[in-house]
Amino acid sequence: MRRMISTLSVGGVLLSATACGTAPGTTGTPSVASAPAGSAPAAVASTCEALGQAYSKNIATFAESLTNLVADRKTVAQAQKSLAGFATAVSDATKASENAELKADGKLAADQMLAKSKDKKFFAGIKTGEDVNQTMGATLTGWLSPVTRHCS
């Protein structure tokens, strides 16, 4: 039960603190998933939609793996795998983009996430629910910032 509450609180923080471009004044949902077709060239809009789908498919798994890590340090490999999978999804969503800058920024974001997935010190520093919230909020936002500017 405690793990479930922690996961839910992470989700609440996540909706307000992260996303691939949460616009000011919105409800906090990722604007990348619903980029208006008229506000960006088609290449950017379709890539942002793919990023939104990658985000949606991977965010809960990553949050849960970090929450599990706090409860059981033996789950570090699963947390690392979850972040690596998230990085791969970001890479896959951007590598075929017709927008060269967005493609390059997607690679940068994915490479940052993949590097962190291999960083044992990073995961060793996640010890409390607050650490999970920080990672799911400001840290994840920072990793995704190269693509956020294209999709907000």
pLDDT tens, position by position, 18-56: 333 333 333 333 333 333 344 458 879 999 999 999 999
Q: What does pTM read for this prediction?
A: 0.75
> Which of the two residues, 13 and 140, has the higher pLDDT score?
140
The pLDDT of residue 112 is 97
Q: Could you tell me the two tokens for 69?
A: 């890590």
Q: Could you tell me the two tokens for 37?
A: 């077709």
Distance of CA 134 to CAs 94, 101, 106, Å? 25, 28, 22
> Which of the two residues, 27 and 93, has the higher pLDDT score?
93
Q: Average pLDDT of the chain?
A: 80
> Which of the two residues, 71 and 21, has the higher pLDDT score?
71
Q: What letter does residue 135 receive in the DSSP assignment?
A: I
